[in-house]
Structure 1
Amino acid sequence: MRQSYKAKCYSLKNLRILLWGVSGVGKSSVAYEVSCALKILYVEGDNFHTDQAKSKMADGIAVDDQYRYKWIKKIIDDVSSKNGNFILACSAIRCKHRLLLIRELAINHSFELCAFSKTLTKRIETRKNHFFSKSLLDSQLKDLEEDSFSKKIMTENLTIEDVTKIVLELCD
């Protein structure tokens, strides 16, 4: 089944996808699956956080907008140095940061993944080896800014495979 999606989506020139949302919505898992299906570069936004920021977040201390801007710029600098199609998994909870990513990286598909707070908390609690403290979820939800240009996908009762299929279909 993935082959048919690959044939449709991969024919798009400059396929550049942003998957964003708060912690626990499935950004990393879905982005990985989409990258495998389309054979495109997978960029994980969490890999650009400093060790200091990861420690702060593990301790339940939220990063501020000044830090977020520097983090977004690091992602842009790295991805800009590469050619070709990609999918970026990144919280990008502020609209101004998404707009910067979209403009600087010529992103042509933006998807907000979302779920209910209770579900997000459960997902965060079951993750292993991740720095994000569940105590920060409320802070992220408070800081989250919606937009009118991203396609919204509710991941609440869907599997990673279901969400991947939706993203692939919407890229067509």
Structure 2
Amino acid sequence: MAAPGALLVMGVSGSGKSTVGALLASKLGWKFYDADDYHPEENRRKMERGIPLNDQDRIPWLCTLHDVLLRDIASGQHVVLACSALKKMYRDILIRGKDGAAPTGEEPGKEDKPTAVQLLVVYLSGSFAAISGRLLQRKGHFMPPELLQSQFDTLEPPCAPENFMEVSVDRSLSEITATILDTLKMN
């Protein structure tokens, strides 16, 4: 696989996606996006009421994120995206667009336009106990700690043939970022 145009920092709520993603983007000089900023208001209200999102809620949001990634990468900008991306299907949508399938070209002769994002998935993994402890300390976030179990229930950790690396959240922030940066140098 070619060097990634984007890094997806994924994991359940409270795993450190936004913190790790923003730090990586800063160190790499890449653009940073937090997927939470792109949730429609209906999704935010649902989560604030303690109702887990379903696929119908997530797919339009993921398609929007795919379009953002594709736009930036097409203009030569590398991107770090912090996004839960709990299911393989969700990661496929981030890479290829709606339903994980490449969109068809609108104009004849434009079919060769890239529609897939070269993505390295960085999976921040940790135990329920460790991550729930972090969530209980977090203030002012729309995702209540009570929804964490639903995220673990939904989680499909990345596996081959996905282009991914797993990093434990039990490590320090500097160790996590150093591990990811070392892996990028090898790509």
Tell whether the 8 Å contact from 2:39 to 2:61 is kept in structure 1 after alignment.
yes
**Structure with higher RCO (Cα < 8 A, 6+ apart):** 1
Aligned pair partner of 2:128 in 94, 98, 117: 117
The 4+ residue runs of structure 1 with deviation greater than 4 A are none
Tell whether the 8 Å contact from 1:43 to 1:89 is kept in structure 2 after alignment.
yes
Q: Could you tell me how far 1:81 is from its partner in structure 2?
A: 2.5
Aligned pair partner of 2:17 in 22, 27, 46: 27
Tell whether the 8 Å contact from 1:69 to 1:97 is kept in structure 2 after alignment.
yes
Deviations 1:24-76 (A, max 9, x none): 11110000000010110001110111122112112211011111111101111
2:30 and 2:130 map into 1 onto residues whose CA distance is 29
Runs of 5+ in structure 2 lacking a partner?
97-114
2:82 and 2:95 map into 1 onto residues whose CA distance is 13
Provide the residue aligned with 1:47 in structure 2: 37
Amino acid at match of 2:11: G
Provide the residue aligned with 2:139 in structure 1: 128
Provide the residue aligned with 1:94 in structure 2: 87
Provide the residue aligned with 2:58 in structure 1: 68
Percent identity, aligned pairs only?
28
1:171 and 1:66 map into 2 onto residues whose CA distance is 34
Deviations 1:108-148 (A, max 9, x none): 31111111111111111111221101111100100111231
Provide the residue aligned with 1:166 in structure 2: 179
Deviations 1:65-123 (A, max 9, x none): 11111110111122323231011110000101102212355233111111111111111
- The root-mean-square deviation of aligned C-alpha atoms, in Å, is 1.6
- Compare CA radii of gyration and give the structure with the larger one: 2
Tell whether the 8 Å contact from 1:101 to 1:107 is kept in structure 2 after alignment.
no
Q: Could you tell me how far 1:15 is from its partner in structure 2?
A: 3.3
User: TM-score, normalised on structure 2?
Assistant: 0.80
Provide the residue aligned with 2:49 in structure 1: 59
1:128 and 1:60 map into 2 onto residues whose CA distance is 16
1:50 and 1:116 map into 2 onto residues whose CA distance is 29
